[in-house]
Amino acid sequence: MTPAEYRNASFEVWAHYSQQLIEQALTQLLPARDTLPQRLHEAMRYATLGGGKRVRPLLCLAAGQLVNASEGAILPVASALECIHAYSLVHDDLPCMDDDVLRRGKPTCHIQFDEATAVLAGDALQTQAFELLADAPLSAPQRIALVKELAHASGSLGMAGGQAIDQLHVGQHMDLPELELMHIMKTGALIRAAVRMGSRCHPNDGAALPDSTHQSLDHYARAIGLAFQVVDDILDVEADSATLGKTAGKDAAADKPTYVSLLGLAEAKRMAAALHQQAHDALAGFGEAGRRLRELADFIVLRHH
């Protein structure tokens, strides 16, 4: 596909081709299957390759394309985001956490391998993410800014912190502000980081983007970060496991508070629609350049799995 064809393609074609780019990048950037220790590298690749919607890398790519980032710069950054996401799934699925056996339509990592390998594969995928950022073909200040963004979004004040709140509240009451804080940390922070990191990959290092661009992108990213989780909660009720590729109804089974359990299904759907609109509004100033991010907002809110 030529650059012009890629730029002008329908969303479905753009997303499919972008997912292929991400899959190729991950395939090349992760240690090879036959590199020692082989079982660990197999598990890292099993947990990362060949599945998933790649929402975070797609957001990163779309934000990068908005600021004319090169493919060579953006793909390792998008891959780092997916490594963090994959590590979090491997650890979340462990018996001591959500104890899940199905993920992306396949046995979870600790089922396919063993628990020790799953813990270590998750650990090493996190490390890999930071190594990819450090090696990205961008200026040192840009790379450091990316390391900060990713660390802040995925650490104890971000994704891992949100997961900790989640684990502590199984079977316990949580009100709407608590639930929102948890999801902003657990899912929202990394999705927001995906957009912010993409826009940090612009080619002119000296020429920082105007503050208004960062603010608009950030409004967009916050809205879709939250929308993503609301839709996840709706799908957990409405879809079946085969469509989801993971165990459906498990939040209700685990007696976890969700937007649906707190607001009811109809209100949760209204909330998703309002966040969808907020995301579109935030992009209004970008015109045609905001097309992929708009389409991704539609994809996130209107998806069936």
**Distance from the Cα of residue 282 to its chain's centroid:** 20
Please state the φ and ψ torsions of residue 18, each to the nearest 5 degrees: -65, -40
Burial class (CB in 10 A: 0-12, 13-18, 19+), 80: buried
Does 115 interact with its own copies (rule: CB under 8 A)?
yes
Residue 206 three-state SS: coil
- C-alpha 5/C-alpha 14 separation (Å) is 9
Minimum distance, C-beta of residue 172 to its own copies, in the bound complex (Å): 13
Does 111 interact with its own copies (rule: CB under 8 A)?
no
Does 180 interact with its own copies (rule: CB under 8 A)?
no
What track of x and - describes contact with its own copies for positions 86 through 105 (by CB under 8 A)?
A: -x---x--x-xx--------
Kindly identify the residues of this chain, within the stretch 218-277, that bind its own copies according to CB under 8 A. none
Q: Alpha helix (H) ranges present in the chain?
A: 3-8, 11-29, 38-48, 55-66, 71-92, 109-112, 115-135, 140-154, 159-168, 176-183, 189-199, 211-238, 241-244, 250-253, 259-263, 265-282, 291-302
Binding part of the chain for its own copies, among 49-57, 126-134, 212-220, 262-270 by CB under 8 A, reads 126-134
- C-alpha 218/C-alpha 154 separation (Å) is 17
Kindly identify the residues of this chain, within the stretch 140-159, that bind its own copies according to CB under 8 A. 140-141, 143-144, 147-148, 150-152, 154-157
Kindly identify the residues of this chain, within the stretch 4-43, that bind its own copies according to CB under 8 A. 31, 35-37, 39-41
Minimum distance, C-beta of residue 134 to its own copies, in the bound complex (Å): 4
Peptide bond into 37 cis (omega under 30): yes
Which residue, 108 or 126, has its beta carbon nearer to its own copies? 126
**Which one of 52, 122, 188, 257 is in contact with its own copies (CB under 8 A)?**
122
Amino acid at 263: L
How many residues in the shown chain lie near its own copies by CB under 8 A?
52
Binding part of the chain for its own copies, among 7-15, 57-65, 70-78, 134-142 by CB under 8 A, reads 134-142
Burial 2-41, CB ≥16 within 10 A → b, else e? eeeeeeeeeeeebbeebbebbbebbeebbbeeeeeeeebb
Does 181 interact with its own copies (rule: CB under 8 A)?
yes
Residues that bind its own copies (CB under 8 A): 31, 35-37, 39-41, 44, 87, 91, 94, 96-97, 114-117, 119-120, 122-124, 126-128, 130-131, 133-135, 139-141, 143-144, 147-148, 150-152, 154-157, 160-161, 163-165, 167-168, 181
